[in-house]
């Protein structure tokens, strides 16, 4: 599966790209991460990119495309990839189409993350990145808690830092550049039948589910189990009313003893008036 995630800065593309990579096993390719790595190494590309990133401007298209070409040549991208933050303008989109056609790896889907502007400003100002594993968090909406508070690379708590281009001074400029340069990509990919838009506001887990539905992925095991349990749950029944207790009778009637059983023969004698007596024999008349 070859996917592009589109959206304004702070729309949650990075967080959802990480989750999607874990779920599908295909790599996340973030141009921002590639550029920041070049900046950290102090390469010629990194030096040029740093000035543009600190001012909220876009990096030169040719440099970014060259980095993408090198990354797509690595073996872990054969099963697919998730492009996060690229392309950012129509020139990059056309160049990416040519590169993917050359590699015979056309895109399968482009997902647009829709978020209100006020929410974007809140997200960007609260965003923090782990200096060791590059995981993205937000101290206002999704801070690292529980098992997620431990860095998988160091085994210690995340070392959270704020990117230079995430401060409030550059947010307005970044959003202006997005509206001018990146938003036209919506119509570009819509005309190719690749665009799918999702509501990217709300809980992170809810956005993850919407993204999975947009891409036609099977529900996650936990979500499927919750739906199955809800379907199997029997309908609620009203509790039965307690039985009414009968009032005791004012006076308890004395039970009469049951009549004794009498043999049938004795019963017949009793009805006949007692035992039968034989009549004395008639005396013979004396002969005179």
Active-site choice (88, 123, 128, 210): 88
Active site includes 192?
Answer: no
Active-site choice (36, 50, 71, 174): 174
Active site includes 127?
Answer: yes
Active-site choice (2, 13, 123, 210): 13
Active-site choice (23, 48, 57, 163): 163
Cis before 87 (ω within 30): yes
Q: Count Cβ atoms below 10 Å from residue 49 Cβ, excluding itself.
A: 25
Beta strands in 119-159 (DSSP E): 127-130, 136-138
Active-site choice (2, 71, 123, 127): 127
DSSP states of 68-114 as a string? HHHHHTSGGGTT-EEEES---SHHHHHHHHHHHHHHT----EEEEEE
Question: Are 212 and 219 spatial neighbours (Cβ–Cβ below 8 Å)?
Answer: yes
Strands 109-114 and 195-199: parallel
Active site includes 210?
Answer: no
In Å, how far are 5, 32, 88, 117 from 200, measured between CA atoms?
Answer: 12, 20, 19, 12
Active site includes 163?
Answer: yes
Per the listing, tokens 């023969």 go with 265
Active site includes 153?
Answer: no
For 81-220, where are the alpha helices, taking DSSP H only? 90-103, 117-126, 168-177, 185-190, 204-214
Per the listing, tokens 């891409």 go with 215
How many whole angstroms from its chain centre is CA 66? Answer: 36
Helices 31-41 and 44-54: crossing angle, nearest 10°? Answer: 120
> Catalytic residue positions?
13, 88, 127, 163, 174
């Amino acid at each position: 599966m070859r996917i592009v995630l589109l959206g304004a800065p702070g729309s949650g593309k990075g967080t959802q790209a990480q989750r999607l990579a874990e779920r599908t096993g295909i790599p996340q390719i973030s141009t921002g991460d590639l550029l920041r790595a070049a900046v950290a190494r102090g390469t010629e590309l990194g030096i040029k990119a740093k000035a543009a990133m600190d001012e909220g401007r876009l990096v030169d298209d040719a440099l970014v495309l060259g980095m993408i070409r090198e990354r797509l040549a690595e073996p872990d991208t054969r099963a697919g990839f998730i492009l996060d933050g690229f392309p950012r303008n129509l020139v990059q989109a056309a160049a990416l189409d040519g590169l993917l056609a050359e590699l015979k790896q056309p895109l399968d889907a482009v997902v647009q993350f829709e978020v209100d502007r006020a929410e974007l400003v809140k997200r960007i100002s609260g965003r923090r990145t782990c200096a060791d594993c590059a995981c993205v968090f937000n101290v206002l909406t999704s801070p690292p808690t529980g098992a997620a508070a431990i860095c998988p690379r160091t085994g210690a708590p995340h070392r959270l830092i704020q990117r230079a281009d995430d401060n409030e001074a550059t947010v307005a400029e970044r959003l202006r550049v997005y509206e001018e340069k990146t938003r036209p990509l919506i119509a570009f990919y819509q005309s190719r039948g690749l665009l799918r838009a999702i509501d990217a506001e709300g809980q992170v887990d809810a956005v993850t589910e919407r993204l999975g539905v947009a891409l036609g992925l099977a529900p996650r095991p936990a979500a499927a189990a919750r739906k199955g349990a809800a379907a199997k749950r029997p309908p609620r029944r009203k509790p039965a009313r307690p039985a009414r207790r009968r009032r005791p009778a004012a006076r308890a009637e004395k039970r009469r003893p049951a009549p004794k059983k009498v043999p049938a023969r004795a019963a017949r004698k009793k009805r006949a008036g007692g035992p039968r007596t034989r009549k004395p024999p008639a005396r013979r008349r004396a002969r005179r």
